Structure 1
Amino acid sequence: MRTILTTAFAALVAASGALAEGFPDKAMTYIIPFNAGGESDVSARYQQSEWEAVTGQQVVIQYQPGAGGAQAWSQLNSLPGDGYTVMGINMPHTVLQPLAGSVGYKTEDLTPVHYFHYTPNAIFVTKDSEYQTLADLLDYAKANPGMVTFAGSGSNSANNLAAVQLNAAADVITTYVPFSGTGPSITAILGGQTTAGFNYATSGVAQGDALRMLAVAAEERMPAFPDVPTFKELGFDIVGGAYRGVAVPASASEETRQAVSDIVSKINAQPGFVEKMESGGFVLTDIGYDKMDAFVAERVEEYTAGAKALGIIK
């Protein structure tokens, strides 16, 4: 049974800001399973600036890129389970990758302890595009099946899933064009190689006025983009993107898992962190260890259905 905080412990935290049993009492290591510069790195760097204020200790960020994150995730359980080494974890990657083939780990092998944000999917066109609204784009798609092309970050990715969801929800046929990452896909949109892009909302901050966002897959309008409607506002039940969190090795104790989750949750509440994340186009979540089983189960169900639509599985 998962450990829950006792009243005495909660009182101690409220009084002193301390974490479980003095943890941590030395620097921690935070492994990012991607190259520097992407959304996972940016959000981890924002966390890093608050880490010492919350824990009294520094955190050192290291990068272990390869195979879309799979290289690092396949090695997570070989790391010490004392809580001093944690790793970034992403969905739908960690569900779709094992479904697509052998990647050295299974979804159930991983131990996420906190998902602290997601970057919503969003549709972008160039600033001078003839498509002023999502309705304009969908009208053209209905009249010209397959002719609307979406640049996105990789096959079997959150962007790819969103394009499939839109096709089903709007009863249209569009063509998804995968690129090796967010940067190349944005370059394709700007260069007119595709009609539009299904990318992450963070690209709207990075590109400024060069791109126009037609809709975003968030529950509510985002502070960074108050004039951009959500898909739900426009009549399409599409919410989601790339969820990012922190995981620990499976050997970590229940107390350690909860303690790491508490650190991330405390950082999520820091005003400076909130401001940076929201201004950057991220949507904060606070899905702690006590909610993890239910959250992952829901996502696995959702992404398995998406995998069928993508043709990953039958």
Structure 2
Amino acid sequence: MKTPTRAIATAIAFATLGVGSVLAADFPSKPIDYIIPFNAGGESDISARFQQSVWEKHAGKPVVIQYMAGAGGAQAWSKLNGMESDGHTIMGINLPHTVLQPMIKDVGYKTDDLTPVHYFHYTPNAIFVPKDSKFKTLKDLVEFAKANPGVVTFAGSGSNSANHLAAAQFNELAGVKTTYIPFSGTGPAITALVGSQTLAGFNYAPSGIKQGDAIRMLAVASEERMPAFPDVPTFKELGYDLVGGAYRGVSVPKGASDEIRKKVSDLVAAINADPEFREKMEAGGFVLTDVTYDKVGAFVEGKKAEYAKAAELLGLKKK
């Protein structure tokens, strides 16, 4: 009796693999739903819109962008694995958010529950102030912060995000105490900054292009000055060893086959190599990366070790 049972199980397994391969071969067979776990207007949205402009050229099918904001992205990420896993539903994914959030508290998902397939760009952190701010330089802001502990408020994209981490690192390096105000995404954070609801913002560099003269960038956390902002000094130039930002990519539901995961990664890589897309991204202050599906695992493991130290810096306790 055991042999027929084993034979039936093997046949079912091969049949399932066969169906998965057929689905992957036909991918994409319909429009792809691209879920952004933040509000419209932030860097995740901007880069997705740039991708959308060349998506059909590379995929043969269009992409539909949707939003599922809440809890700094956690609301969407906690629901990802319950969605269709045929590759036609993908979701934006961010580091350090998806490492720090579940490291600190129960947010409805764990880092290892998620299935990132490609990280395609990086945005350095930067300090901004409203155009009419009395802070003309970073030195001005630091001097004020030292004389007025806790009074300088930074608008940023979510708790336990790259912005939040940068603000904590800056406090330590500059010997100041500031107050970080988390918003549900870059869009609302920048709106608050432009409206002078906070004295400053720890946001991502591309915001400096989108907002134009409405805000002023005091320093950027890149290794070298960015081509899009040649007049903005790096923190390192100003004596602060602060380099960092957010990595963004796409994830699929955990049930997606390896073939589908690779197909999505290959599609994102093709878009990343598209000259039209690259020009828009680089002019917008984004730094392109290509962490493909075969490299994602090691990349995330490295970031997990790096961000473990960040939890202590943020004054947060691991759950």
TM-score normalized with structure 2 length: 0.83
Once the 2 structures are TM-superposed, how far is the Cα of residue 38 of structure 1 from its aligned partner?
2.9
The aligned residue for residue 208 of structure 2 is 204
* Residues 1:45 and 2:77 are matched in the alignment: no
Native 8 Å contact 1:153 1:159 kept in 2:
yes
Selected match of 1:64 from 61, 68, 74 = 68
Verify: 1:131 aligned to 2:135, yes or no: yes
Aligned to 1:273: 277
Q: 1:145 to 1:114 in 2, by over 3 A?
A: same
> What is the Cα-based RMSD across aligned positions, in Å?
2.3
Q: Which amino acid aligns with 2:78?
A: S
Number of residue pairs matched by the alignment: 295
Residue 271 of structure 1, CA deviation:
1.3
Aligned pair partner of 2:263 in 255, 259, 262 = 259
Shift of the 33–183 alpha-carbon distance from structure 1 to 2, 3 Å rule, reads: closer
Stretch of structure 1 that moved more, 24-33 or 258-267? 24-33
Tell me the secondary structure at the aligned position of residue 117 of structure 2: strand
Using the alignment, how far apart are the partners of 2:184 and 2:74 within structure 1? Answer: 15
Q: Partner of 1:189: helix, strand, or coil? A: helix
Q: Is the 8 A contact 1:31 1:85 kept in 2?
A: yes
**Post-superposition CA distance 1:104-124 (Å, at most 9, x none):** 210011010111112321101
Q: Using a 3 Å threshold, how does the CA distance of structure 1 residues 45 and 313 change in structure 2: closer, same or farther?
A: same
> In structure 1, what is the Cα distance between the partners aligned to 2:166 and 2:246?
11
Distance 1:239 1:150 in 2: 18
State the distance in 2 between where 1:253 and 1:287 align. 19
Of all paired residues, the percent bearing the same amino acid is 70
Aligned to 2:289: 285
Alignment of 1:157-236 (within 5 A): 157-236=161-240
Which residue of structure 2 lines up, in the alignment, with residue 6 of structure 1? none
The 2-side partners of 1:73 and 1:154 are apart by 14
Q: Does 1:248 align with 2:252?
A: yes
Tell me the amino acid that sits aligned with residue 308 of structure 1. E
Local SS of the residue matching 1:272: helix
Q: Aligned with 1:213: secondary structure?
A: strand
Note the alpha carbon deviations across 1:15-42, whole angstroms, 9 max, x for none. xxxxx84533443222222333332222
Q: Distance in 2 between matches of 1:190 and 1:79?
A: 37
Alignment partner of 1:98 is 2:102: yes
Cα distance per residue 1:130-173 (max 9 Å; x no partner): 33322332233344443433232333222111110111222332
Residue aligned with 2:261, SS: helix
**Equivalent-residue separation in structure 2 for 1:127 and 1:71 (angstroms):** 34
Name the aligned partner's letter for residue 198 of structure 1.
F
1:115 equivalent in structure 2: 119
Partner Cα distance (2:189, 2:66) in 1: 26
Partner of residue 89, structure 2: 85
Q: How far is 1:276 from its partner? A: 1.5
Aligned to 2:20: none
Q: Give the aligned partner of residue 16 of structure 1.
A: none
Distance in 2 between residues matched to 1:191 and 1:83, nearest whole Å: 40
Distance 2:202 2:248 in 1: 18
Q: CA deviation at 1:275?
A: 1.7
Q: Deviations over 1:74-103 (max 9, x none)?
A: 222223333222111122221222123222
What SS does the corresponding residue of 1:257 show, helix, strand or coil?
helix
Aligned-residue offset at 1:264: 0.6
Q: Which of 303, 307, 310 is 1:303 aligned to?
A: 307
Partner SS for 2:260: helix
- Following TM superposition, by how much is the alpha carbon of 1:261 offset from its aligned partner in structure 2, in angstroms? 0.9
CA contact (8 A) 1:99 1:312 kept: no
- Which is greater in Rg? 2
Instruction: Quote the Cα distance in structure 1 between the aligned partners of 2:299 and 2:174.
Output: 27
